[in-house]
């Protein structure tokens, strides 16, 4: 990726779907990828709205991150706008990508959240999970223990500890659902981010790993993408 990628493309990523790009840019990550690839523009409300050439698992995760990330963090996703169109692959590859998103969310995002909440055994089990089955077992245990500890903390009026433990329970539940729904993996990052610095960077690394599985998007020239972005902004409704 070019060191000045963000500056070259000159595009803003925003939460939500957009009927048209704004005059200063402004779309979600998948809508930006459509413009960059020169495909007919469409608003994206879910991964099902993406062109067929987009990996559904990757698009769902990217969209979840896009909508959950604070404005200051969302520009990290610009690095992926040239890698989505053309990434679709066979069902087995898409399933492998979904498994990767779930497994790495447990290992690298749920684990440090458990550690911050003082649940060291759960943190170790999540971080060391050798496969998705073990990761889901570890997430299930963290969900149960986090909920139980949160109730104890509430009775003791230990509000900060209880908030962390409740966050573990919610985030672990999302991690278990991520094995079937890639967008839920983004909810793992969303649940951990308020408590664990660096969560969004870890989430982007997980996205990078999912894109490395199977078919790679064809190389797109950043300068050609910049020109398409400029044209889309120029054509934006007043």
In a domain, 93, yes or no: no
- Look up residue 77 and give its two tokens: 């996703």
Give the CA count within 13 Å in the CB-facing half-sphere of 196. Answer: 28
Contacts of 178 (CB under 8 A, 6+ apart): 98, 101, 102, 105, 184, 185, 187, 188
Short-list 220, 218, 225, 219, CA closest to 8: 225
- pLDDT reading at 2 higher than 50: no
In a domain, 201, yes or no: yes
The model's pTM is: 0.94
Give me the number of domains the chain comprises.
Answer: 2
Domain, as residue range, for 28: 1-88+216-238
- pLDDT reading at 139 higher than 60: yes
- pLDDT reading at 85 higher than 70: yes
Q: Are residues 112 and 208 in the same domain?
A: yes
Helix axes 199-211, 91-105, angle to 10 degrees: 160
- What is the end-to-end Cα distance of the chain in Å, rounded? 33
Q: Are residues 41 and 137 in the same domain?
A: no
pLDDT per residue as tens digits for the range 206-224: 999 999 999 999 988 888 9
Q: Are residues 184 and 209 in the same domain?
A: yes
CA distances from 212 to 23, 61, 74, 176 (A): 33, 14, 21, 23
Q: Are residues 104 and 146 in the same domain?
A: yes
CB 135 within 8 A of CB 102: yes
In a domain, 187, yes or no: yes
Q: Are residues 132 and 191 in the same domain?
A: yes
- Residue 120 — very low, low, confident or very high, per pLDDT cuts 50/70/90? very high
Q: Are residues 42 and 142 in the same domain?
A: no
Arithmetic mean of pLDDT, 22-34: 89
Q: Which helix (H) or strand (E) holds 146?
A: helix 132-155
In a domain, 94, yes or no: no
pLDDT per residue as tens digits for the range 220-236: 888 899 999 999 988 87
Q: What are phi and psi of 49, to 5 degrees?
A: -80, -10
| Mean pLDDT of the residues in the chain | 93
Q: Are residues 115 and 74 in the same domain?
A: no
Arithmetic mean of pLDDT, 87-107: 98
Arithmetic mean of pLDDT, 185-207: 97
- pLDDT reading at 7 higher than 80: no
Who has greater pLDDT, 238 or 170? 170
Q: Which of 20-34, 67-81, 113-127 has the lowest mean pLDDT?
A: 20-34
Q: What are phi and psi of 54, to 5 degrees?
A: -90, 135
pLDDT per residue as tens digits for the range 154-193: 999 999 999 999 999 999 999 999 999 999 999 999 999 9
Q: Are residues 229 and 197 in the same domain?
A: no
């Amino acid at each position: 990726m070019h060191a000045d990628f963000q500056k070259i493309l000159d595009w803003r990523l925003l939460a939500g779907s957009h009927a048209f790009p704004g005059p200063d840019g402004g779309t979600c990550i998948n809508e930006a990828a459509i413009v960059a690839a020169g495909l007919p523009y469409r608003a994206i409300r879910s991964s099902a709205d993406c062109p067929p050439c987009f990996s559904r698992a990757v698009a769902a995760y990217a969209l979840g991150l896009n909508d959950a990330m604070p404005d200051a963090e969302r520009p990290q996703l610009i690095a992926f706008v040239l890698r989505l169109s053309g990434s679709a692959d066979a069902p087995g590859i898409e399933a492998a990508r979904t498994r990767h998103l779930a497994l790495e969310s447990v290992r690298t995002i749920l684990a440090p959240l458990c550690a911050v909440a003082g649940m060291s055994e759960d943190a170790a089990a999540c971080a060391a999970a050798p496969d998705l089955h073990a990761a889901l077992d570890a997430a299930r245990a963290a969900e149960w223990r986090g909920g139980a500890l949160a109730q104890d903390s509430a009775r003791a009026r230990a509000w900060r500890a209880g908030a962390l433990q409740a966050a573990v329970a919610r985030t672990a539940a999302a991690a278990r659902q991520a094995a079937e729904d890639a967008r839920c993996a983004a909810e793992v990052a969303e649940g951990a981010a308020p408590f664990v610095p660096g969560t969004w960077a870890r989430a982007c690394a997980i996205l990078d790993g999912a894109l490395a599985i199977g078919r790679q998007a064809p190389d797109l020239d950043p300068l050609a993408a910049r020109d398409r972005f400029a044209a889309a902004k120029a054509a934006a409704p007043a």
